Chain A
């Protein structure tokens, strides 16, 4: 990440409540173009609400969220989501799932074909293009969803604990794959997780949230050299620092 690069996202005093329950309390931060930002916080702190409010999937109560200087609008701006569940559409093939966002955005057939070919190869699903989701394993489903996210060439990719349910070997593999795609496409990523080790492994910067009502407790720059190793003393130190900030268990 280039430290001098422009801010792609600027959040000021974001506040969100459900009825009387204040969930997000005046959250402010910025994200730089090309940055990999991880967000961690204690269980139940409102991380998903945070991500959904950030893109106005949830209506917010007050505050401003500027995407490249304009009020953020998921219909207008190139954002992509990868949810916790494998949100494939079961009536569509792998190829059709990946093309879905592009169709919505009304790209020409030629562009759609070209983009789909590119991402389907990036995630290694070429030979499964005509399969339906119920014929695929969990890892393949997650890859379909990742390919669909990258297909729209998002300027900002939002990921809500995408690997929480996967077995560890697979998780490591997909994390490395994600880092490779992030480098290749130079996109900006906001990645939410419960898993502190995962945040230290992936991020350029970690935003540590408090319990509800959620505020930003601390921002931690993660300058560890890549590829990272979980047993490096620097890695362990950073992991311990984040753990201390959120440990409730």
Chain B
């Protein structure tokens, strides 16, 4: 299923300029993000990678509009971000599904809020439930699903609203190593089929190299951009190929450098 680069080199989908974030009042103690500028092309898969607690989630939340920023400006699809909006879909670390709703209820929720008619939205939701491999589970509640299946539901929910940008906050951090490999392969398959601009946060270097068109390495808190890597290994990638492993060692060294 090898495929070539998917991105549209000519169109910038996300432009973050000089983003800083300071929590609390005493500036020096709570600076989390320090002057971060990132631009992401249409259909590019960017992985934001960095050590634990470095501020990755804060950055993602700011792009999502869920968190305020201290300085800087963000544009998504040409519009300035001031609040959360349906143009940005989010997949959370903890899945954040509504436990009282079925898989269908969760996936169609955004379309329902947007006022789409039931027949139309369920048709659309069914397509994405199918895409993430959950057909047959439309009527199941999250409590009946495994961790991997909950994340599949979260991914379908994000795609279903057809956002300009999908933000994924370490979605596989709580899964076991094997289920994680499965889900990474699924993301690879879904991205090959449904072109989207994605910003994906992880602290797993193997996952970063497997998925990314480009990796942005952040420093320890307060996070700055430490390095960037264009990953042009052919897809789907082999995580034990010499090129993959040497890249992994290089990036791992760079974290501590």
Main secondary structure, interface of B, reads helix
> Distance (Å) between the CB of A216 and the closest chain B CB?
18
Complex partner residue of A169 from B178, B182, B249, B255, CB under 8 angstroms: B255
Interface residues on chain A, number (Cβ under 8 Å): 23
CB distance from A168 to the nearest CB of B (A): 6
Q: Is B87 interfacial (CB 8 A cutoff)?
A: no
Q: List 28 A-B contacts (CB under 8 A).
A: A43-B176, A43-B178, A43-B179, A138-B52, A161-B176, A164-B176, A164-B177, A165-B174, A167-B52, A167-B204, A168-B203, A168-B205, A169-B51, A169-B252, A170-B52, A194-B176, A195-B177, A198-B177, A230-B249, A231-B249, A239-B240, A240-B240, A246-B178, A248-B178, A249-B178, A249-B179, A249-B181, A249-B185
Within 8 Å of chain A (Cβ to Cβ): is B78?
Answer: no
How far, in Å, is A202 (CB) from chain B's closest CB?
Answer: 14
- Say whether A42 faces chain B, with CB atoms less than 8 Å apart: yes
The answer to the question of A209 belonging to the interface, with a C-beta cut-off of 8 Å to chain B, is no
Q: How far is the CA of A231 from the CA of B174 in the complex (A)?
A: 26
Question: Which residues of chain B have C-beta atoms less than 8 A from A236's C-beta?
Answer: 240, 245
Minimum Cβ distance to chain B for residue A169 (Å): 6
Given A231-B246, A236-B240, 18 more A-B residue pairs with CB atoms under 8 Å apart are A43-B178, A43-B179, A167-B203, A167-B204, A168-B205, A169-B51, A169-B52, A169-B252, A169-B256, A194-B176, A194-B178, A196-B177, A230-B248, A239-B240, A240-B240, A246-B178, A249-B179, A249-B185
| Interfacial chain A residues near B136, Cβ < 8 Å | none
Would you list which residues of chain B between 180 and 225 have a CB under 8 Å from chain A?
181-182, 185, 203-206
B33-54 vs A, CB cutoff 8 Å, 1 = contact: the mask equals 0000000000000000001100
Determine the interface band of chain B, counting residues with CB < 8 A from chain A: 20 to 34
| B242 CB–A CB distance under 8 Å | yes
The A146-170 residues at the B interface (CB cut-off 8 A) are 161, 164-165, 167-170
Within 8 A of B (CB), among A174-232: 193-196, 198, 230-231
Kindly state the separation between the CA atoms of A239 and B239 in the bound complex, as whole angstroms: 11
Q: Are A230 and B245 in contact (CB-based, < 8 A)?
A: yes
Identify the 8 closest CB pairs spanning chains A and B, nearest first: A249-B182, A167-B52, A231-B245, A195-B177, A194-B176, A194-B177, A167-B203, A43-B178
Q: Which residues of chain B are near A164, meaning CB under 8 Å?
A: 176-177
A161 to B175, CA, bound (A): 12
Cα separation A230 to B252 with both chains bound (whole Å): 12
Contact check, B51 vs A167: say whether CB atoms are below 8 A apart.
yes
Bound: A53/B203 CA distance, A: 34
Chain A, residue nearest B241 (CB): A236
8 Å CB contacts to A: which residues of B158-174?
A: 174
Which B residues are in CB contact (< 8 Å) with A167? 51-52, 203-204
User: How far is the CB of A50 from the nearest CB of chain B, in Å?
Assistant: 15
Q: Which of A91-122 contact B (CB under 8 A)?
A: none
Determine the chain B residues whose CB is within 8 A of the CB of A168 once the complex forms: 203-206
Write out the residue numbers on chain B whose beta carbons fall within 8 Å of the beta carbon of A231.
242, 245-246, 248-249
| Contact indicator per residue, chain A 16-43, by CB within 8 Å of chain B (1) or not (0) | 0000000000000000000000000011
Least Cβ distance of B219 to chain A in Å? 13
Instruction: Give Cα A170–Cα B255 distance, bound, in whole angstroms.
Output: 12
Nearest neighbor of B204 in chain A, beta-carbon distance:
A168
